Amino acid sequence: AYARYQAWTLGLLLAVVMAFTVGFVFAAPGAVYIYGNHITREQNGKISIAGPLTNLALGFIFLLIGFTLPAFANIASLGANVNFFLGAFNLLPFFPMDGQNVYAWNKLYWAALFFSMVILAFVQLI
């Protein structure tokens, strides 16, 4: 299997519109697509879950930094929140998000990771 980034003009347009209407920018100007001969649903799901799991790991690393180095608590909290939010967003079960492939492969893994990320992102906002 191999992966390729593909620009998504609509995602860039949505980011610009959100910046002016909602007041914050969440840019999704493209996505990574997985290609290969005869990739099974399980293989595609396992490849797709790698990104959100990386966000989860980075979120916990930022939390650990915040707890062990209080001088960096604010920036570490922001880093954790961004990663938990991005991971949850990427797990939405719609094209072109990774969540679509994870959900199609294993709904239990998808639900466990998605709801964990949503809860962690919410707790970080409080």
Q: What are phi and psi of 30, to 5 degrees?
A: 180, 180
Q: What is the dihedral of CA 26, 31, 79, 65, to 10 degrees?
A: 180
* 8 Å CB contact between 68 and 39: no
- Give pLDDT, residue 31: 77
Tokens read off for 125: 């906002």
Q: Residue-wise pLDDT tens for the chain (126 aa)?
A: 888 888 777 777 877 787 778 766 666 677 788 888 889 999 999 999 999 999 999 999 999 999 999 999 999 999 999 899 889 999 999 987 899 999 999 999 999 999 999 999 888 765
